[in-house]
A and B are shown apart, each in its own frame.
Chain A
Amino acid sequence: MLLEIQNLEKIYVAGEVRVNALKNITLKIKEGEFTAIAGPSGSGKTTLLNCIGLLDHPDSGQILFLGEDIVSKNPKEQAFLRRQNFGFIFQTYNLIPVLTVAENVEMPLRLLPSYEKETARQRVSEVLTAVGLSGFEDRKPLEISGGQQQRVSIARALVKKPKLILADEPTANLDSKTGESIIDLMLKINKEEGTTFLFSTHDTMVMDRAGRLILLRDGEIHEDSKKRKRK
């Protein structure tokens, strides 16, 4: 099992107001799954992804990654786990504006102890070709479209061949046609490279393309349809 989440709770406190963002979440994700987390705004989609990606700290419960409890690790170990195993795709792409497309994609590789310049250059070229951005290497993020920026973001998440890619509303800022092409690309990578995708969305088109749909409502799993067929 790639990921096992047991009784995960997250409470946000704002003054005297307590919001149970996640309530008793328990789920398992197998390697190679293409899973969508859906639900209305405030249902806890992003919080769940952030907790799994160790960007946020759950108040209770366990997250096991390849059988190992990752919540109890110290911040340095968590950073190391992220750099080795997780890829992130954000709704607003979050590319570094002063770096070129190639430099943005190369960034996760630079953090690996095995980094080697020529190998990295080849891998960057490979993933940029895979996302259809060959020839855009020297452009800055602001010189390309939103859809292209999200492709760069996918390439950046993909470049180190992570075990799990966490995508927070990857198509929310894109028009439907570009959004669909992004989902196509993610599916292609999932099929060809066996990369596990876990992404949040409230777009029905994206939900329909997911192999598994987890529906969150008020921080709880409302529905987990594991046997959906991909379209």
Chain B
Amino acid sequence: MKSYVLSLAAKNILRNKRRTVLTFSMLVFGVSFYILLSALFEGFDRAAFESIINFESGHIKARSDKYDKDFPFDPENFMENSSAVMESIRKDPSVLGVAPRILFSAEMDNGLDDTPVLVTGIDPQADDSVFGLGEYFTDGSFDPTGAVVGADLAKEMSLYPGDPFYITFRTKAGAYYSLELWVAALLKSPDPAGNKTRIFIDIALASNVLGTPGAATEIAVKTDNLKTAAKTAERLRKRTSGVSIQSWDEMSHGFTQTMQTKGKMSQIILFFILIIAMIGIVNTVLISVFEKRKEIGTLKAIGFSDSEVRNIFVLEGAIVGFIGSLLGALLGALFNAYLSTVGLDYGAIMEGLGDDMGIGFLSIVRTTWNPEHYIVPVTLSTLASALAAYLPARRAMKMDPAEALRTT
């Protein structure tokens, strides 16, 4: 009997094709839009994570246990025993690369203007074993006597490869120090912050001028598996003392909160899609009930119970919701297939605007494939449609058969 009620409901949706197509269209548009947006958000998140890991954090980062996150570039944050720490870290079998870095803030001066910059002292070879920064050096190459300057920063300061400039900073002892450098290369990376604010110099030069020989602000680590970095960090914590060791996911707590905010945005969009779908379904089923009053009377005369009559209309709504959202999921998958392979050139889009809109990277964003993005809207649309159909279906159920049969 249940299957018969279902087949009657299915036949009903073909009765007014134009109306059904209109309701389908709303669902198809809404669900495909949701899928695309969710996949794009997830793609943005993944690209942003990759950017952080590739340019900022590495898989694991070790810092002095006295590290003050409110003053991250203060020379007081230096790890004095960095060589011993690196040696200890290298012993872990999961560790593929270790790179010491010295970070400090300075004023950059081209003789006309000055601007605050973040200076990073690197060991180019060691750095390449953790970060892929070297491949973004353009118009020159790393030189221990010069500096690699962020391309946007260079542009702002009207500096070109070979041009001299100064940086002024405070040494560990508190004295002000000015260092003359020259532009050895430019950095054009997908990390907009790096391009705008950073200069890279040799770590030996940095520790020499800061008066911190053998010290490092942080030690970045690359492991053989990004997903198990937290476990490796845990092992490294046991192996070392006097240092604070965190994996990328432990460090990016704030960023995951941003991701959750984006997730909530998707949920809000889904909520509005469901509201639109429900309005469409209520309208469709309400008109359907109104048009079929005589049939409702006939069905009751033949012996359909009130609940069976109601179920025909509830199922009619659910079928419309299911098929509509399924078609939407298929369309969303088609769009996604394109954007997950070809991608969206976010860098090119933002180039004209001159801003990254706070996203934190400038690369090609590829959408993701996540079954949840398909299962959730299809399931919720079907349930919401059945729910929306319930009220008009109840009206059909309560209809007096004699009165229904009197309608023309």
Most buried by B among A76, A79, A97: A79
A56 and B306 within 8 A (CB):
no
CB nearest to A103 among chain B residues: B11
B8 CB, min distance to chain A CBs, angstroms: 8
Task: Report which of A55, A80, A99, A110 forms a contact with B301, defined as CB distance below 8 A.
Answer: A55
Count of residues in A whose CB is under 8 Å from the partner chain: 26
Considering the chains assembled together, what is the distance between the CA atoms of A82 and B303 in angstroms?
5
Smallest CB–CB gap between B11 and chain A, Å? 4
Residue of B nearest to A79 (CB): B305
Contact stretch, chosen from B43-51, B109-117, B397-405: B397-405
C-alpha spacing A50/B301, complex, angstroms: 9
Q: Which residues of A contact B303 (CB under 8 A)?
A: 79-80, 82-84, 86, 108, 111
Residue of B1, B295, B302, B307 contacting most chain A CB atoms (<10 Å): B302
Q: How far is the CA of A55 from the CA of B300 in the complex (A)?
A: 8
Instruction: Flag if A111 contacts B1 (CB, 8 Å).
Output: yes
Are B305 and A75 within 8 A (Cβ)? yes
Q: Does A94 belong to the interface (CB within 8 Å)?
A: yes
Number of interface residues of B (CB under 8 A): 22
Verify A98–B11 contact, CB threshold 8 A: yes
CB pair B300 A79 closer than 8 Å: yes
Chain B: minimal CB distance from A167 (Å): 12
Interface 0/1 of A201-216, CB less than 8 Å to B: 0000000000000000
Bound CA span A118–B168, Å: 95
Contact check, B305 vs A80: say whether CB atoms are below 8 A apart: yes
Chain A-chain B contacts (Cβ-Cβ < 8 Å), number: 68
Contacts of A189 in B (CB 8 A): none
Could you mark each residue 296-320 of chain B with 1 if its beta carbon is under 8 Å from any beta carbon of chain A, else 0? 0110111111110000000000000
Does A19 have its Cβ within 8 Å of any Cβ on chain B?
A: no
B400 nearest in chain A by CB position: A56
In the bound complex, what is the Cα–Cα distance between A183 and B32 (angstroms)? Answer: 58
Q: B403 CB to closest chain A CB, in angstroms?
A: 8
A90-B298, A96-B295, A98-B14 given; A76·B306 CB < 8 A: yes
Contact of B266 with A by CB under 8 A: no
- The smallest C-beta distance from A125 to any residue of chain B, in angstroms, reads 19
- Indicate if the CB atoms of A83 and B11 lie closer than 8 Å: no
**Do A55 and B1 touch across chains, with their CB atoms under 8 A apart?**
no
Chain B residues contacting A55 (CB-CB under 8 Å) are 297, 300-301, 401-402, 405
Contact with B along A95-113 (1 / 0, CB 8 A): 0111100000001101100
Knowing A55-B405, A110-B1, say if A82 contacts B11 (CB, 8 Å).
no
Q: Could you list 20 A-B pairs, sorted by A, with CB under 8 Å?
A: A47-B402, A53-B301, A55-B297, A55-B301, A56-B400, A80-B305, A82-B301, A83-B303, A84-B303, A88-B302, A90-B301, A94-B295, A94-B297, A94-B301, A98-B11, A99-B11, A110-B1, A111-B1, A111-B302, A156-B302
